[in-house]
Structure 1
Amino acid sequence: MLYLSTRGHPARKHFCEILLEGLAPDGGLYLPERYPQVDEATLARWRDLPYAELAFEILSLYIDDIPPADLRRLCRDTYTKAVFGTEAIVPLKQLEPGLYLEALSNGPTLAFKDMAMQLLGNLFEYELARRGEELNILGATSGDTGSAAEYAMRGKRGVRVFMTSPQGRMSPFQQAQMFSLQDANIHNLAVEGVFDDCQDIVKAVSNDLDFKRRYRIGTVNSINWARLLAQVVYYFAGYFQATTGRPGHKVSFAVPSGNFGNICAGHVARMMGLPVEHLVLATNENDVLDEFFRTGVYRVRSSADTHETSSPSMDISKASNFERFVFDLLGRDAARVGQLFGGQLAREGRFDLSAEPAFADVPRRFGFVSGKSTHADRLATIRDTHRRFGVLIDTHTADGLKVARERRRDGETMIVLETALPIKFAATIVEALGREPDRPPQFEGIERLPRRVTVMPASVQAVKDFIAAHCA
């Protein structure tokens, strides 16, 4: 299996090359030359596999430069009950007939990002040891990617992490998870701006090929294909649990969406042949993606126009992974994608695909529908879910559940992807229910721990200077 750039760079690369590289040299994102197809016989064979074995089967379709025995061991080492709390790893919880929550937040940092990041940490350590090399990971986080990456990479041989985050924009718990880490290979950079500023810095550094090569810069954001690939697995796992005794039955997934990585993994699963009816994209007040799927216009907001909300991990107005979907939408026309994302978006801050014949066919061909949730919706959904089902959900999952209920059709099986545990957004839970959510014992008093973080301006050069100073 070889990988290509969404913007047409002529090089074709194997998995382990793009694992360590992140962005393609032309600024594009990597995708496989084709999506492997699964048929009913394959789905039947996979249905009862433990999660680690299912992960191996799916990943082995995309990875041909890691020996199968090693890849299976990496999957088994990653997806364990000790790390994720249950044998199922991602158990379903039925709220009512045909409506489920898929628990993705039982890992070390209580967010769905652990599902991929724990594997990514093991893959990095494996490949770097095999090459005898080191890697400096540069990332951007709106809340959960940072802690998931840092907990996955702390203590890993040959890896340093430089994680940018928007100063003051994460919840107190999210900040404490990251900034309390004292490991020498973990560096937190609080950028005076919003998440999109952090993401732009990561891309700018990655696009400086001389700097990238000199300091061995890699990424853990969902622009890294390996991370997105790992997320594909839980769509299959959720489908199998929801269709026990009903092989071939279609399901839909509702996904809280900011950077388009989580739902893009669902897009990949559907393109592979998983029987997915709809991919329901839920945004918060930062509704760039909902606007696109309603109108065909993709319009990036400025930092000043990016709302600070009670589902802060989705306070994003420039969705990096969206380029992967547009690449497929436009028939994999790399030249056109390069013009849109490499030129027009930078110049005008928007593009319009409403006149494209393919856009009118998006719900049928790709399954996407969308909706929006507000702070008032989140509070109402949290209260209603707790009152009726005794289930406490976080703010982002509430966005997904609210839009799922709006878009769900009669008889449709709908799986809402849980994105984090409620303790990460305690202030809004208190506002909704009048009490603090339960806190896992290992995180008692985390907000009072000493912090290790550097505040800096939203400057590419400032981040480069920090990396250079700490890689000497």
Structure 2
Amino acid sequence: MTRTDVRYVSTRGGMAPQPFSETLLEGLAPDGGLAVPAQLPSVDAETLEGWRALTYPQLAAEVLGLFATDIPREDLARMTAAAYADFPDEVVPLRSIGGGITLVGLSEGPTLAFKDMAMQFLGQALSHVLERKDQVLNIVGATSGDTGSAAEHALRGKERVSVFMLSPQGRMSPFQRAQMYSLDDANVHNIAVAGVFDDCQNLVKRLSGDLDFKHAHRLGAVNSINLGRIAAQAVYYFWAWLRVTDAVEPEFRRGFEVSFAVPSGNFGNILSGFYAKGMGVPIRRLVLAANENNVLDEFFRTGVYRPRSAADTYATSSPSMDISKASNLERFIHELVGRDPRRVADFFRAIDEQGFVDLSAEQPRFDAEFGIVSGTSTHADRLATIRAVHEASGELIDPHTADGVKVARDHLEPDVPMLVLETAKPQKFAETIREATGIELELSPELRGMLDAPQHVTEMVDDEQALREFIAAHALH
């Protein structure tokens, strides 16, 4: 397979094509859109089969090499080896839980959540690019639970990067808060905002949209608006397909379809699967699992997209999915409207003017053309699913993964393996596990020490000016 040059443009049409390295540093595009490949790279069946014997870091270098065509392959191989060095030998284990469902284990990293899979690579890639350019970067991000800790653990102590991570006050689990707030590295700044995740995300977008402020303080992003995150997450779709088809006779592997169920909040994880499918992974369906904040489920079932306000966003027992305005949906809309920036702009203009967009005429395409279906899981569903999975298989799953399993069961098809992307280790949500099963999870001395450690966090009202002043006072220059 020939490695062709891939450039990136904005969903809103106002950014000249640029290489992967520049998209890593930009975050939000200068015109307010998101970076997308001008042409999605593709993988033929022979190449895919040739990757079967690779380790996960080796496969990551190959897949990411299709996106990062401006970074030498030997540098990518070094970065991916370093990114997954502290994971177990089997970086992404697959394990059956019965009933035709297999879990894709994505929580073997330092913060026990799937965000580590991309963030550990992103930490390596940002350091590489900044060193090469002799620059610094101030990351401003928002987290609903796991992105923040994964980013901070990947970037802590790095000389050329500072992290300003916004999180919603009182909306994360005690474990999630401790993973972030217990860090005392000089380059890590935790900011707890009075509001919900969408308020944090809106602050990040407003600062990123102010190009003068962004450039003056060298702002970047590690949320899934950063294309590097999306690219790195696509790798485990390739890996999971290869591992499932290891058991398939070689003559039947080509085109052998599997489905993936993905717990979804900001639409980044499932978007990576959408890209993997477009690149050539034989994926039949991508099953979007929402919790009670089911704006995305409503959209994919009806074609009506109606973001909710902060006041209408529920605090649930799967808090990383408590999002009512998914940033990465813009990348899907870009594909849906034929990559026409004017129609993307019309989509968001309609939301601003009337609070919703009616694309019900396009809704049949969601499954027929793109293979995306969806469903909703509630707190009662989570408890019942955690309990049932444990009774049937002995496995304990976290509440977000339980949302995925619940919705996956509604979309099982004969002879099509269903893979559920695991979101986190159950230890991060001990209270919900106790409620579901009565089991008191034991924590290692290291994790108990983290929970008991002093916490370092700045509480802030939902105020853009206060955030600007804080960043200006603490940013690297």
Normalized against structure 1, the TM-score is what? 0.97
Give 1:238's match in structure 2, choosing from 231, 237, 240: 240
1:96 match: 98
1:333 match: 340
CA distance in 2, matches of 1:128, 1:95: 43
Given residue 96 of structure 2, which amino acid in structure 1 is its aligned partner? Answer: Q
Give 1:74's match in structure 2, choosing from 66, 73, 79: 79
Given residue 297 of structure 1, which amino acid in structure 2 is its aligned partner? Answer: V
Q: Is 1:395 matched up with 2:399?
A: yes
Given residue 23 of structure 2, which amino acid in structure 1 is its aligned partner? Answer: I
Given residue 450 of structure 1, which amino acid in structure 2 is its aligned partner? Answer: P
CA distance in 2, matches of 1:437, 1:298: 39
1:417 match: 421
Task: Give the % identical residues.
Answer: 58
Given residue 412 of structure 1, which amino acid in structure 2 is its aligned partner? Answer: V
Q: Is 1:159 matched up with 2:165?
A: no
Cα drift, residue 60 of structure 1: 0.9
Superposition map of 1:23-102 within 5 A: 23-80=28-85, 83-85=86-88, 87-96=89-98, 98-102=100-104
2:361 match: 355
1:372 match: 376
RMSD: 1.1
Moved more, 203-212 or 94-103: 94-103
2:350 match: 344
CA distance in 2, matches of 1:162, 1:188: 6
Q: Is 1:314 matched up with 2:318?
A: no
Cα drift, residue 245 of structure 1: 3.8
Given residue 453 of structure 2, which amino acid in structure 1 is its aligned partner? Answer: L
Given residue 383 of structure 2, which amino acid in structure 1 is its aligned partner? Answer: L
2:437 match: 433
Normalized against structure 2, the TM-score is what? 0.96
Q: Is 1:131 matched up with 2:133?
A: yes
3-state DSSP of counterpart to 2:246:
coil
3-state DSSP of counterpart to 1:281:
strand
CA distance in 1, matches of 2:280, 2:472: 45
2:292 match: 285
- After superposition, give the CA deviation of every residue in 1:45-89 in whole Å (9 maximum; x if it has no partner): 011211111111111111122122111111111122xx112x221
3-state DSSP of counterpart to 1:280:
strand
3-state DSSP of counterpart to 2:159:
coil
- Where in structure 1 are there 5+ consecutive unaligned residues? none
- After superposition, give the CA deviation of every residue in 1:141-199 in whole Å (9 maximum; x if it has no partner): 00000000000000112100000000010000100110110001000000000000000
CA distance in 1, matches of 2:258, 2:440: 34
3-state DSSP of counterpart to 1:274:
coil
Given residue 194 of structure 1, which amino acid in structure 2 is its aligned partner? Answer: V
Determine if contact 1:252/1:412 at 8 Å carries over to the other structure.
yes
1:217 match: 219
Given residue 381 of structure 2, which amino acid in structure 1 is its aligned partner? Answer: D
3-state DSSP of counterpart to 2:202:
helix
2:17 match: 12
- After superposition, give the CA deviation of every residue in 1:444-463 in whole Å (9 maximum; x if it has no partner): 13222111100101111111
Cα drift, residue 435 of structure 1: 2.2
- After superposition, give the CA deviation of every residue in 1:231-255 in whole Å (9 maximum; x if it has no partner): 0000011111111142121100000
3-state DSSP of counterpart to 1:84:
coil
Cα drift, residue 97 of structure 1: 6.4
CA distance in 1, matches of 2:269, 2:34: 15
3-state DSSP of counterpart to 2:265:
coil
Cα drift, residue 10 of structure 1: 4.3
Determine if contact 2:34/2:330 at 8 Å carries over to the other structure.
yes
- After superposition, give the CA deviation of every residue in 1:309-340 in whole Å (9 maximum; x if it has no partner): 00000000000000001111111111110221
Determine if contact 2:98/2:392 at 8 Å carries over to the other structure.
no
Structure 1 ranges of 4+ moved more than 3 A: none
Given residue 376 of structure 2, which amino acid in structure 1 is its aligned partner? Answer: K
Q: Is 1:405 matched up with 2:412?
A: no
3-state DSSP of counterpart to 2:289:
strand
CA distance in 2, matches of 1:71, 1:279: 28
Cα drift, residue 99 of structure 1: 1.7
Determine if contact 2:15/2:30 at 8 Å carries over to the other structure.
no
Given residue 465 of structure 1, which amino acid in structure 2 is its aligned partner? Answer: E
1:198 match: 200
CA distance in 2, matches of 1:445, 1:17: 39
CA distance in 1, matches of 2:209, 2:179: 29
Given residue 48 of structure 1, which amino acid in structure 2 is its aligned partner? Answer: A
- After superposition, give the CA deviation of every residue in 1:405-461 in whole Å (9 maximum; x if it has no partner): 111112220000000001111111111111222424421132221111001011111
Determine if contact 1:257/1:263 at 8 Å carries over to the other structure.
yes
3-state DSSP of counterpart to 2:234:
helix
Determine if contact 1:259/1:320 at 8 Å carries over to the other structure.
yes
- Where in structure 2 are there 5+ consecutive unaligned residues? 1-5
1:442 match: 446
Q: Is 1:467 matched up with 2:474?
A: no
Cα drift, residue 124 of structure 1: 0.8
Given residue 84 of structure 1, which amino acid in structure 2 is its aligned partner? Answer: F
Moved more, 45-54 or 396-405: 45-54
Given residue 131 of structure 1, which amino acid in structure 2 is its aligned partner? Answer: K
CA distance in 2, matches of 1:461, 1:364: 46
3-state DSSP of counterpart to 2:149:
helix
1:109 match: 111
Given residue 467 of structure 2, which amino acid in structure 1 is its aligned partner? Answer: V
Cα drift, residue 364 of structure 1: 2.0
Determine if contact 1:394/1:421 at 8 Å carries over to the other structure.
yes
Q: Is 1:273 matched up with 2:273?
A: no
CA distance in 2, matches of 1:226, 1:77: 16
